Structure 1
Amino acid sequence: MAFDSRLLNGIGVVSAVVEAGSFARAGEALGLTQPAVSRAVARLEQRIGIRIFNRTARSISLTDEGRRYYEAVAPLIAGIEDATLSAGRAKALVRGRLRVNVDGAFGHFVLTRRLGAFLDQYPDLAVDVAVRDAMGDLVGDGFDVAVRFGYPEPSNLRAELLLETRVLTCASASYIARYGAPSHPRDLVNGHQCVLLRDPSTGRPYEWEFSRGGETIPFQASGRLMVHDTGSLIGGCLGGIGMAQLLELYAENLLGEGKLVQMLPEWSDETFPLYAYHRASNLVSAKVSAFLSFVRQITR
């Protein structure tokens, strides 16, 4: 079919709806009424012959066909925006609003503590950081990029390994005074307490293991406290309730300040990966590229 320039307007409206999460908020961002947004989406749906959104009285979500369409056109729209701005200064390319999806460990203890330098570098950029147990639907929920610990699951997203950080077993001085310090993983079965972290994908505690050289010893950790987030895990460990397995990327400051002590340091070869995720396209927007460069710097 012949290209209709009005398609670009409709695609822009769809992109605003995905980012805002509703027709009303998209209208506010675009300076349109909610009915005008609804009509623009309906015209685009009629033009391309698919239903883009599932609509209910309380929420909207992308249909399967709508998601595939949005994944294909969103990078192109971002490329057009960047090309339009390319006549200005390089910093002018990094502007608008960047929506970032992170897990609690990275969001609370790494990203937000260091984000000020990034915001200072790009004064025309605003950042929304959403901490979530699971990444969910990155595209459908309107996120630009995600940074999360753990191994990637199969998806249409591009996953970039940022680093592999060691898993350290830590305890407070008060815990050591009460229970002693183990000299070997097998000593943990003799009355030691562990603070357990719930795996949101299974509902069960994460499994513990100890690695040295090529040897790995699995351990069935047990304790009276199970938590659902990293902040509570660190809090329980600092409070002397039990030992905890923490990631070195955020535990190193606590160890350096003497607030925690590393247990069994010779058995700490186990690592856990940190990945960045974004749409699988060669047309990565300037704001996403700038953010990924920043994250690579702070995780070196």
Structure 2
Amino acid sequence: MDYSEFNDDVDGLHRGDYAGLPITGLRPPGAPMPAAGEAAWRVSADVYDAKETFEEHFARFVETVDTTGVRALIVGGWNDAYENDSSVPVRLLVENAPRFPALRSLFLGAMPSEECEISWIQQSDVTPLLEAFPLLERLEVRGGTGLELRPVRHERLRVLRFESGGLPAAVVRAVGESEFPALEYLELWLGVTEYGGDATVADLAPILSGDRLPALKHLGLQDSEIQDEVAAAVASAPVVARLESLAQSMGVLTDEGAEALLSGQPLTHLKRLDLHHHFLTDAMLERVRAAFAGTGVELDVSEQEEPDDDWRYVAVSE
């Protein structure tokens, strides 16, 4: 799997590509549109002062596009997304699931910050999406406020990503309690307590054991204010030996967490180790670079941050 398309650009997904397909939306009547399966379709309503409700836009979409061929769908904004949760988009997708037999990739809540800050996005229970789309291979969700997930078994899911400035502990636990036999890529932005990120290392234990994730190749436990504690747990986690890529990036990783990674189980089997946005000292940074020099591991230690006295910040919070 190519991991290069996954990054911390929270303002993406309203341009460029998604799931290897060019992003497009409904065009004016009479304007040419790509074939349904040749684009990643963005369905979205204005968050502020909308002239069209999300329901109305979605109805136009399913009437205009041959949804039987749609392979990738991006749900952008919905009306007053800072007040109204995502239950309407979720319900419409679930109710219309038979009309999307080819859907394999789905992103819920892809709003740029000028439209709605990540911490403002009101989410809801996304479990029905996994239940309604048993052939789904990729699910990504932005926003942690109000987000819910129940333990579920899904046979085909390969990619699961939660982008959040504060990921609820209940969601983290549900991920660990779910059965994802095909999952290869798992990325969790844990965030900070101020925005609802209350997960502890204990909540991560089922994920770190890897017992329910036999196919996992990439694990990202990122954007955390307890990044040192997470790194220490990762350093001895059984799942790590099976990984090709590991991300401990975007958080407040210090020399303490880096020392844990260096003194724990070997990581030189990895193809990539991502530690970008960190608070390592120059001396520790050199130790990390030396430890992986000549190993073939692609090491990302970019974005060396400086603490403000004792205050350190994650890459994405509000």
Pairwise TM-score range, normalised by the shorter structure:
under 0.3
Which structure is higher in RCO with an 8 Å CA cutoff and minimum separation 6? 1
User: Counting strand residues as a fraction of each chain, which structure ranks higher?
Assistant: 1
TM-score, reference length from structure 1: 0.26
The structure that has the greater radius of gyration is 1
